[in-house]
């Protein structure tokens, strides 16, 4: 047989053993892919709404204008790219007239991780997804929910710091990302609608920074703010004096205001708590009063009790389990039900005190917050012209 004829000869099929091995490898790869997909869905890494599936539909780009009288301090580094869908945990197709921009709390506490957690870190992303279910869904009953992924502080980096040191530490890449996410949200997603700013713990530190600086630089946006829920970190009398454009809530339905409190038990009276600052102000999340009027648990509209930190398995308690009374001297909300679990943040440092209910700030008063968000939204819409609000409600097919 000539060389030419040999070249035309068809290749022999692989031996039976090779074919079986190849099939096994293909099946294993498919199975692994399926497992990853299921894990991403169950841990909310893929943006599946529990009620319906949404696709991202950016609106017409809105150009942001900055105040000529106030300049934002120079940012550290470049922002994460928020045009990429993977850098958002929640982007709702608007069906309400008001949005909520929510900033999640601290997720990672580890000496083996960097001081500022990477945007790609899977532990942070999975934990942040769980906080949406536990905390941010308070806002989902009345508003469209937007939650960016941002580089945040490792709790072990924050733990030795207090007060102004904590807030200054957050002025690094954490702030750069949040400002970048806000820019993209207002330019592409908001469509001119009024909005709520909300967070918890480290997320509330970031909301506070946004209120003090970003909103001062964008007064046109600030005029559309329904309220800011700065829960789980103190807003102080000194803050209000330093930033006179900020107002603290006086009741249950005033708008353009800050709602803030930290929940503690009586045993935390003189304890060091990283989230409680000197001259702190709190409002009662049951009766929405600033004074020391006691609100019994019988007036609590309902609590959610979670079995773990995954945010999926919970039991509803109505009336709620927690009572509430403002301690004007310490500037916190006192809950006297000592059967409720105290908060352990998983850090090697003692940062909250012996009877902090930090993790219960939202869940203890869950349905009071749901009700309050609706009241403030309704009041804002009642007292403001709705002209120009853009509502696009198209579900993914």
How many H helices and E strands in the chain?
A: 11, 13
394 close to 57: Cβ distance less than 8 angstroms: yes
Task: Report how far residue 275's alpha carbon sits from residue 246's, in angstroms, rounded to the nearest whole number.
Answer: 20
Task: Report how far residue 273's alpha carbon sits from residue 350's, in angstroms, rounded to the nearest whole number.
Answer: 8
In this predicted structure, what is the pLDDT of residue 35?
A: 41
Q: Which two tokens stand for residue 131?
A: 């906080």
Q: Which two tokens stand for residue 84?
A: 């990429």
Instruction: Indicate the pTM of the whole model.
Output: 0.83
Query: Mind listing the pLDDT tens digit for each residue in 309-328?
Result: 655 677 889 899 999 999 99
94 close to 120: Cβ distance less than 8 angstroms: no
**Tens digit of pLDDT at every position of the chain (397 positions):** 444 444 444 555 555 554 555 555 455 544 444 443 343 444 333 333 332 223 334 455 666 766 557 889 999 999 999 999 999 999 999 999 999 999 999 999 999 999 999 999 999 999 999 989 899 999 999 999 999 999 999 999 999 999 999 999 999 999 999 999 999 999 999 999 999 999 999 999 999 999 999 999 999 999 999 999 999 999 999 999 999 999 999 999 999 999 999 999 999 999 999 999 999 999 999 999 999 999 999 999 999 987 666 556 778 898 999 999 999 999 999 999 989 989 876 556 789 999 999 999 999 999 999 999 999 999 999 999 754 454 444 333 2
Smallest CA-to-CA distance from 284 within 226, 354, 223, 332 is with 332
What is the CA 378 to chain-centroid distance, rounded? 22
* Residue 293: partners with Cβ closer than 8 Å, 6 or more residues away: 284, 287, 325, 326
Query: Mind listing the pLDDT tens digit for each residue in 169-210?
Result: 999 999 999 999 999 999 999 999 999 999 999 999 999 999
* Backbone Cα Rg of the chain: 24
**Based on the number of CB atoms within 10 Å of its own CB, is 198 exposed (0-12), middle (13-18) or buried (19 or more)?**
buried
Task: Report how far residue 227's alpha carbon sits from residue 379's, in angstroms, rounded to the nearest whole number.
Answer: 11
């Amino acid at each position: 047989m000539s060389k030419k004829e040999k070249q035309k000869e068809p290749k022999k099929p692989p031996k039976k053993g090779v074919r079986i091995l190849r099939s096994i490898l293909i099946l294993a790869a498919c199975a692994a892919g399926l497992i990853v997909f299921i894990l991403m869905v169950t841990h909310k890494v893929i943006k599946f709404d529990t009620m319906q599936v949404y696709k991202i539909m950016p609106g017409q780009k809105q150009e942001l204008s900055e105040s000529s009288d106030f300049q934002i301090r120079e940012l550290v580094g470049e922002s994460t790219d928020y045009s990429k869908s993977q850098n958002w945990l929640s982007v709702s197709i608007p069906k309400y007239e008001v949005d909520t921009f929510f900033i999640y709390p601290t997720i990672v506490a580890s000496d083996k991780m960097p001081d500022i957690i990477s945007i790609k870190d899977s532990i942070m992303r999975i934990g942040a997804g769980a906080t949406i279910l536990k905390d941010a869904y308070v806002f989902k009953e009345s508003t469209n929910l937007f939650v960016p992924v941002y580089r945040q502080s490792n709790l072990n980096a924050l733990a030795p710091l207090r007060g102004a040191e904590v807030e200054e530490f957050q002025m690094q890449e954490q702030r750069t990302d949040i400002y970048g996410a806000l820019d993209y949200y207002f330019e592409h997603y908001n469509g001119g609608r009024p909005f709520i700013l909300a967070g918890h713990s480290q997320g509330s530190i970031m909301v506070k920074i946004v209120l003090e600086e970003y909103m001062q630089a964008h007064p046109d946006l600030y005029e559309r703010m329904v309220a800011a829920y700065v829960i789980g970190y103190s807003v102080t009398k000194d803050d209000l004096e330093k930033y006179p454009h900020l107002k603290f809530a006086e009741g249950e339905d005033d708008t353009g205001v800050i709602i803030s409190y930290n929940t503690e038990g009586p045993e935390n009276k003189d304890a060091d708590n990283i989230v409680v600052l000197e001259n702190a102000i709190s409002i009662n999340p049951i009766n929405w009063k600033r004074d020391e009027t006691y609100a019994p648990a019988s007036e609590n509209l309902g609590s959610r009790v979670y079995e773990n930190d995954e945010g999926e398995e919970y039991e509803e308690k109505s009336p709620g389990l927690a009572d509430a009374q403002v301690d004007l001297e310490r500037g916190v909300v006192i809950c006297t039900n000592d059967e409720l679990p105290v908060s352990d943040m998983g850090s090697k440092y003692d940062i909250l005190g012996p009877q902090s209910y930090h993790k219960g700030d939202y869940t203890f008063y869950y349905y009071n917050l749901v009700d309050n968000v609706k009241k403030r939204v309704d009041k804002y819409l009642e007292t403001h012209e709705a002209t120009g609000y853009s509502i696009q409600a198209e579900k993914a097919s």
